[in-house]
């Protein structure tokens, strides 16, 4: 729940008919807030030995390159080479392939970790079913809550910003401070999150093909 919006949230919001610029603003502010909210709450819950400032700086140094570098490049391209920026914008639909590849890598790593830890041991202990179930409920709750609170104004942007999470960040933090078993919870969230996104994308394509 503390995890900031995913990098793909603005692109997904635009694909679903929302405002990419608004989703981008939420993405930027959400990631900055996460540098402090995650260490405070997560550190308290896990009893991590690392200090608040240490965890905050590690999170900031992790997310800063994926925010500042692309943003600076995009703003510079738009300011000095607008025609080239317009050409580049035509290739945005191919970013979904990058998204698909990143999800594949995350799930492949999770599959490897589960086999290493012992699938049946995790299942029989109740840890894996519990984390899968909680992450499913949390995913549905966040998407539904985001849609509901802004249902009369910006439901698409709100739902994507609330529900689509930078789970790679939380998997890394969980593995680092709480262990690989805990990291399975956000990994399960990746599965549910992408099932929701696939469903929403399929609905948009169905509406486009059947406008009536």
Residue 106 covered by a domain:
yes
**pLDDT tens for each residue of 76-87:** 888 888 888 777
User: Pick from 172, 170, 150: which is nearest to 160 by CA?
Assistant: 150
Residue 181 covered by a domain:
yes
**pLDDT tens for each residue of 84-132:** 877 777 776 666 677 778 778 877 877 888 888 888 888 888 888 998 9
CATH number at residue 22: 1.20.1530.20
| pLDDT bracket for residue 36 (50, 70, 90) | confident
Q: What is d(CA 167, CA 27) in angstroms, rounded to the nearest whole number?
A: 14
Cβ atoms within 10 Å, residue 60: 15
* pLDDT of amino acid 135: 92
- Look at the chain and report how many structural domains it folds into: 1
Residue 3 covered by a domain:
no
Residue 2 covered by a domain:
no
Alpha-carbon dihedral sign for residues 143, 145, 149, 152: positive
Residue 54 covered by a domain:
yes
Residue 190 covered by a domain:
yes
Residue 39, domain extent: 9-209
Residue 1 covered by a domain:
no
The share of the chain scoring above pLDDT 70, in percent, equals 90
């Amino acid at each position: 729940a503390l995890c900031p919006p995913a990098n793909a949230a603005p692109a997904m919001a635009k694909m679903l008919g929302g405002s990419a610029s608004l989703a981008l603003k939420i993405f930027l502010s959400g990631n900055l807030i996460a540098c402090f909210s995650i260490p405070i709450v997560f550190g308290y819950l896990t009893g991590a030995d690392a200090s608040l400032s240490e965890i905050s700086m590690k999170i900031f140094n992790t997310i800063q390159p994926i925010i500042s570098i692309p943003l600076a490049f995009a703003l510079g391209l738009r300011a000095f080479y607008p025609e080239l920026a317009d050409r580049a914008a035509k290739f945005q639909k191919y970013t979904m392939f990058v998204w698909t590849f990143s999800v594949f890598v995350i799930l492949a790593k999770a599959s490897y970790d589960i086999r290493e830890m012992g699938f049946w041991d995790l299942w029989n202990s109740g840890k894996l079913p519990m984390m899968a179930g909680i992450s499913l409920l949390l995913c549905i709750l966040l998407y539904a809550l985001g849609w509901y609170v802004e249902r009369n104004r910006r439901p698409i942007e709100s739902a994507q910003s609330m529900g689509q999470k930078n789970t790679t960040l939380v998997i890394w933090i969980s593995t680092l401070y709480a262990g690989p078993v805990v990291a399975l919870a956000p990994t399960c969230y990746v599965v549910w999150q992408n099932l929701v996104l696939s469903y929403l994308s399929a609905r948009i394509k169905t509406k486009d093909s059947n406008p009536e």
